Structure 1
Amino acid sequence: MHDDLARFLRDELGHLPSGSAGPWHVRGPVWLWQGSAGAPTKGSWYFLTIDGDTALAIRAHATNAAAWGSVYVEATIGGTTWRTSLFPSKQAGGWLLPLKAAVRKAERIADGSEVEVLLVLAS
């Protein structure tokens, strides 16, 4: 882990999170983002929330931060693998994994579906 990142995490969390550098298996329900009007809009995005120890481990081991603090990953659900970004979420206390339409269609995923994803940090 880079020294600056370790110092930042110690300052923010009071300690360095433990946990592996991945890959990580995450299981949870898919949810549909509600627009500012409180209702889905055309093109609304579906997400999987990643929180807890897995979120801390990703934060500790990610060295590939991109725009808005996002982190590049390779995600696999069922037989579908794709490259995407995890987006930080203060509200969730972790990360949000966006599930694009092609993935949802290929794996028959709908709002509320329980999915298991394998995440690997990408470069």
Structure 2
Amino acid sequence: MVIEFDAELWLWEARRDDSWTFVSLPVEESEEIREMAGGQRHGFGSVRVRVTVGSSTWTTSIFPDSTRNCYVLPIKRAVRRAEDLEAGDVASMTVELVDI
């Protein structure tokens, strides 16, 4: 499954710095991922993905967030620097499920 979408970067509320920056996957696609992942999830309900933002591609995990009713994707600092992104910016991205 490959998902292409635009999302705003946001900071995890528990942190005061930009070390925990995320985007939320669309709710509808998150529901599909939950169904597809079934019992194949890893720690904390995570699902392995390959992500592309701009010219940056990396492998990471998405995590379920019950308060947002979707999966959330961490955007690591190296990618944010390479793509000149910060919290509040909207980025176009492609997320591909890896182990499903």
Residue aligning to 1:99:
75
Residue aligning to 1:31:
10
Structure 2: segments with no counterpart, 5+ residues: none
Structure 2-normalised TM-score? 0.89
Q: 1:56, 1:26 → 2: CA distance?
A: 15
Q: 2:42, 2:35 → 1: CA distance?
A: 15
Amino acid paired to 2:90: E
Higher helix share: 1
Structure possessing the higher radius of gyration over alpha carbons? 1
Structure 1: segments with no counterpart, 5+ residues: 1-21
Secondary structure (helix, strand or coil) at the match of 1:75 reads strand
Q: 1:110 aligns with which of 69, 74, 86?
A: 86
Q: Deviations over 1:8-37 (max 9, x none)?
A: xxxxxxxxxxxxxx21112110001122xx
The offset of 1:65, in angstroms, is 1.1
More relative contact order, 1 or 2 (CA 8 Å, 6+ apart)? 2
Structure 1-normalised TM-score? 0.73
Higher strand share: 2
Equivalent pair of 1:27/1:116 in contact (CA under 8 Å): yes
Secondary structure (helix, strand or coil) at the match of 1:54 reads helix
Distance 1:34 1:44, change over 3 A: farther
How large is the RMSD of aligned CA atoms in angstroms? 1.5
Q: 1:85, 1:78 → 2: CA distance?
A: 18
Equivalent pair of 1:34/1:44 in contact (CA under 8 Å): no
